[in-house]
Amino acid sequence: MSSTRDIDALIEMMAKLPGLGPRSARRAVLHLIRKRALLLTPLADLMQTVAVTARECRRCGNVGTADICDFCTSEKRATGEICVVEDVADLWAMERAGAFKGRYHVLGGTLSALDAVGPEDLRIPQLLDRVMDENVSEVILALNATVDGQTTAHYIADQLEGRVRLTSLAQGVPIGGELDYLDDGTISAALRARKDV
C-alpha cells in the first residue's frame, strides 16, 4: 500500500474539476499542502459547510444557501422582468455584466430528445406558473445560440405567446457562443439591443 494514498486520491478528485487536468491537480494539491493553515484547512472547512448548505432556489433554480434565493426575495428585483437562462453559470455571467436588474429563471438544461431531456425535465412548468403568479411583464430568453438552446427558446415562446412580452438577446451573440464565455460588455450590449420574438 502506498504511503501517499490519501494524497493520490485527492489529486484524482481534483483532476475531475473543470479546467484542471492531472498535472495542474498535482500542482494545486502540493500548493495546498504547503499552505496548510492558510489555505488547506479553511478550504476543507468551507467545503464541508457548503456540502451541507448549498441548495437550489425552489423558485428560480439559482444555487445558494437558502430555500428561496436573494434575487427572488429582494423587492428591488421585482421589476416584472424575468431572464431565462440555461444554467446557473449563465446567471452568474449575466450578474457579472451587471446590466440586468430583474429576476432569473434557470432551466437546468435544454430540450433534447437525443439526450432524453423533455419539458418536464427542465423548469418550464415552473416558469409558466411564475409568469401567472408574479406579475411578470417581460420574459427575456437568454438562451445559447445552439440548436438545442434555440429550440428551447422557441418552445417556451410558444407556451407563453400572448400572455407576456417576449424578447431575446440580440444577435451578435456568436453562434454556439455560450453566455458564460462572453465578456461583460458583449452581454450588456446584447441585453440592451434585445428584440421581441
Partner 1 sequence: MVVPGLWCGVRLHATPVSMSLYLTELVLSHFRSHKRVQLGVDARPVVLFGANGAGKTNILEAVSMLSPGRGLRRSSAEEMTRRPEALGWKLRGGLVSLGQGHEVETWSENGAARQVRIDGKTASQVALGRIARVLWLVPAMDRLWIEAADGRRRFLDRMVLSFDPGHAEAALAYDKAMRERNRLIRDEVRDPAWYAALEAQMAEAGHRMHTGRVRALALVQEAQDQAETAFPAARLTLVQTEGAMPETEPDLRDALADSRARDMAAGRALVGPHRTDLQGVYAAKDVHAKDCSTGEQKALLVSLILANARALADRIGAPPLLLLDEVSAHLDMQRRAALYDEVCALGAQAWMTGTGAELFGELRDRARGFEVTDSGGASAVMERDLG
Which range binds partner 1 by CB under 8 A, 12-20, 38-46, 153-161, 186-194?
A: 153-161
Which range binds partner 1 by CB under 8 A, 41-49, 83-91, 105-113, 135-143?
A: 105-113
94 is a contact residue toward Zn ion (CB under 5 A): no
CA distances from 85 to 89, 113, 181 (A): 9, 19, 14
Which one of partner 1, Zn ion, none is in contact with 72 (Cβ closer than 5 to 8 A by kind)? Zn ion
CA 39 to chain centre: 27
22 is a contact residue toward partner 1 (CB under 8 A): no
1 is a contact residue toward partner 1 (CB under 8 A): no
Using CB atoms within 10 A of its CB, is residue 118 exposed (0-12), middle (13-18) or buried (19+)?
A: exposed
Q: Cell match 430555500: residue?
A: 67
CA atoms of 153 and 147, how far apart (whole Å): 10
108 is a contact residue toward partner 1 (CB under 8 A): no
59 is a contact residue toward Zn ion (CB under 5 A): yes
Site for partner 1 in 113-132 (CB under 8 A): 113-114, 118-119
**183 sits in which H/E element:** none
Nearer to Zn ion, 126 or 150 (CB): 126
> Closest Cα to residue 111, out of 160, 166, 149, 157?
149
Applying CB under 5 A, the residues found at the interface with Zn ion are 57, 59-60, 62, 69, 72
